[in-house]
Structure 1
Amino acid sequence: MFAGAPRLIHRRLRLPHRPRALSAARCISNAGSTRPSPLAFAFDIDGVLLRGTKVLPEAKRALASLDGANALGVKIPYILMTNGGGVGEDERSARLTKQLGVPITPANLIQAHTILKSHAHEYADKNVLVLGGRRDVLRKVAEGYGFRNVYTTLDVKSWNPNVWPFYDLTPSEVASIKPADFSTTPIAAIFVFHDPRNWALDIQIMSDVILSRGLIGAPYTSPDDSVKVVFCNPDLVWRGGFERSRLGQGAFREAFQAVFTALTGKPYPHVQYGKPTTATYDFARGVLQQRIGEAYGEPAARQANFYMVGDNPESDIAGANAAGWSSVLVHTGVYDPASGPPAHAPTHEAPDVEAAVRWAVEREAVRARASG
């Protein structure tokens, strides 16, 4: 968990839960305007647009309004930015397009592991272990990013079932195996792309790789940092279709480090990506600026104000605040107002994503009128 930020004193505009009708003349007068949007959005997905597989009704209206039917009367660029993942951006964006009723392209989607595209060249020709997801789905995602020699813990289990004798591979898992002799296949890095399905198997094999310095089954040595370990999602909990929040990849990281510390006396150094890390928000800033530049040109990209709309104070709000973005905390996901003030104070709170968008757009409209 992240330490709470100092409480910020800020004014919350009380907006009605249902959308106000926009003035038709106001929207029509700006139709076809080429003036740039003064803002751009990054939306979390789970708990903001979706809850499990269910689309929150406000989500479709909020995204549709960004096409021009808003107080500014302009198209507003946006991206979806999630600590989730587990599939390729092509597959996820196609699914989201169908669910949300608006076109979502891979270029508009940042998953927790998307940032690894920019790091694949470092390990393109080295052997890497990818954790998380089902069967070999994330092997294929990693290969699509540019990693050439990708293995999973299921591959290791198939090579020698005794690495973790308390679990038997299913037929579908056996069919996904990539054969290798891991006693002669040194692993250079471990990337936890998505939430692991078998924590015990994965923690055991991670420990084997690190303590044997890459060659599974070799004698254990004093641990050093020769094997790079990367986690893509720090969320301890996330909000899905169940009534209460579920443990996330951050919980797996804590479990691994607790076991590794018990074995060796100290945790293993690792790289952390995902919200709220600076690296992930810097990556998102670049993607948003590219979207704005494509729509309105580079000057607009440099001047736009960024808004993060999320449901998790520890990731969405903390990261946006640190990046200098405006942040809007919605009440449809992880954060429950009944539990007290959020650990990281947002610029604004809203009951749902539609109210969040309306508040941000009207805020920028007021600023635009004031500046002339």
Structure 2
Amino acid sequence: QPPAFGFLFDVDGVLVRGSQPVPAARRAFQRLTDGGGRLRVPVVFLTNAGNCMRSDKARELSRALGLQVPPEQVILSHSPLQLFSQFHERCMLVAGQGPVVENAHNLGFKHVVTIEALRKAYPLLDMVDLSRRPKELFPSSSQNLAGVILFGEPVRWETSLQLIADVLLSNGNPGAELQHVPYPHLPILACNMDLLWMAEAKMPRFGHGTFLLCLESIYKKVTGRELRYEALIGKPSPITYRYAQYLIQQQAQKQGWKAPIRHLYAVGDNPMSDVYGANLYNNYLKSAQQNQVQAGLKRSPQAASAQAEVSLELRNDCTNSVESCESILVCTGVFRPDSAAPRETEEKVFHGHRDFCFDPSLLQASHIVQDVDEAVQLAFKKENWS
């Protein structure tokens, strides 16, 4: 019986904690594979990590799970950027850490400048660390940057915040004097909105969403205007889930499984990114079936542009077979069941991004289980699959 469902697995807090595999992960994948180690159900690994390459993440998952994971099954926070071809020929500033230049080129971007290269071209801009201030003056360079890609949290936040702000305020030429503040500013493509994430430490760590919050606050304080994004991708963005659905269907087709994919099961540990994202995409699927557009996004141009296209695309896609995307929350990462219900006097804290509205219903998982192995068993039971 060919599978009519697929899994979207988060990685950190679900399959691994830092570099250590979660014990239930191997048990789960023993259920998902046949005797030859081949998957019996389409699977995509959907992570908000972005400071690495797909091939590296695939190797890491292969070691953790004890099976061969091809890079084509891995979606990093920046993977959908290859869809944004209108920016591929522009000169873009790239921020983050790890192989940002290689990642940008693999996604189709032809001309990129790193924060470090910009800092060397304009040595007078980075002034926080006294030991890094230039000992002599250099002639000014001239860069004509046309946009910014934020791949993930950088190592030196103060340097990146300063130089990104300089590029936005100078309309791509940070060596120029500030005449007036251009608005709208240059386009920004941001990947990974996670405020927090779970590693080996007992408490969650700051994620790229925290860096975005700093950048937004600084820009608004300096200019009096809101920082705008051309696109926000990575979970919980519907763009990312639409891309994951495409890969699931492509995988099923490649394996020769004839049954159309009807249901997606998104397994994660973070209510704000994993549960919110899966539920939001489920709303898109439902509204597409009803031939109307509705989603949990603020009704503002900067939030809705790319996201609304997903709704329109689904609404117009008569061949779309997927009916639902169910969220399954595990207790091995950010989420802790004993802290799930706030006291009556406590105000609910929203950890999501500014451009996504706070809808408490989107934070309620379809199912809560102990670990990823229980999540797989639950989906199998719902699908009458063994």
Verify same fold: TM over 0.5: yes
Distance 2:130 2:368 in 1: 47
Is the CA contact 2:197–2:334 (under 8 Å) kept in the aligned structure 1? Answer: yes
Who is 2:95 aligned against?
131
Is the CA contact 2:50–2:191 (under 8 Å) kept in the aligned structure 1? Answer: no
1:146 aligns with 2:126: no
Who is 2:308 aligned against?
none
Q: Counterparts in 2 of 1:1-372, with a 5 A limit?
A: 35-68=1-34, 75-119=40-84, 121-134=85-98, 137-167=99-129, 183-220=141-178, 221-270=180-229, 271-297=231-257, 300=259, 302-324=260-282, 325-341=325-341, 344-365=363-384
CA separation of 1:182 and 1:139: change in aligned 2, threshold 3 A: farther
Distance 2:14 2:119 in 1: 38
CA separation of 1:114 and 1:74: change in aligned 2, threshold 3 A: closer
**1:245-264 deviations in whole A, cap 9, x for unaligned?**
01101010000111111100
Deviation beyond 3 Å, 4+ runs, structure 1: 167-170
Deviation at 1:226, TM superposition (A): 4.4
**1:136-159 deviations in whole A, cap 9, x for unaligned?**
x21111112221211111111112
Of stretches 209-218 and 144-153 in structure 1, the one that deviates more from structure 2 is 144-153
Distance 1:229 1:182 in 2: 25
**1:270-313 deviations in whole A, cap 9, x for unaligned?**
1211111111111111111111121234x52x333100000011
**1:306-338 deviations in whole A, cap 9, x for unaligned?**
000000111111111122201100000011111
**1:79-109 deviations in whole A, cap 9, x for unaligned?**
1000112111112212221222111111100
The TM-score with structure 2 as length reference comes to: 0.77
Deviation at 1:168, TM superposition (A): 7.7
Is the CA contact 1:66–1:77 (under 8 Å) kept in the aligned structure 2? Answer: no
Distance 1:259 1:200 in 2: 11
The TM-score with structure 1 as length reference comes to: 0.80
Of stretches 254-263 and 73-82 in structure 1, the one that deviates more from structure 2 is 73-82
Query: Sequence identity of aligned pairs in percent?
Result: 30
Amino acid at match of 2:146: A
Distance 2:158 2:42 in 1: 42
Amino acid at match of 1:50: V
Amino acid at match of 2:95: L
Distance 1:222 1:165 in 2: 22
Who is 1:27 aligned against?
none
Who is 1:177 aligned against?
none
Number of residue pairs aligned between Structure 1 and Structure 2: 315
CA separation of 1:164 and 1:65: change in aligned 2, threshold 3 A: same
Gaps of 5+ in 2: 133-138, 283-324, 343-359
Deviation at 1:74, TM superposition (A): 8.2
Name the SS for the 1:99 alignment partner.
helix
Q: Which has the higher contact order (CA 8 A, sep 6+)?
A: 1
Name the SS for the 2:203 alignment partner.
coil
CA separation of 1:273 and 1:208: change in aligned 2, threshold 3 A: same
Deviation at 1:185, TM superposition (A): 2.0
CA separation of 1:55 and 1:74: change in aligned 2, threshold 3 A: closer
Distance 1:357 1:68 in 2: 15
Who is 1:29 aligned against?
none
Gaps of 5+ in 1: 1-34, 171-180
CA separation of 1:335 and 1:201: change in aligned 2, threshold 3 A: same
Distance 1:37 1:349 in 2: 23
Amino acid at match of 1:36: P
Name the SS for the 2:124 alignment partner.
helix
Name the SS for the 1:41 alignment partner.
strand
Distance 2:39 2:378 in 1: 15
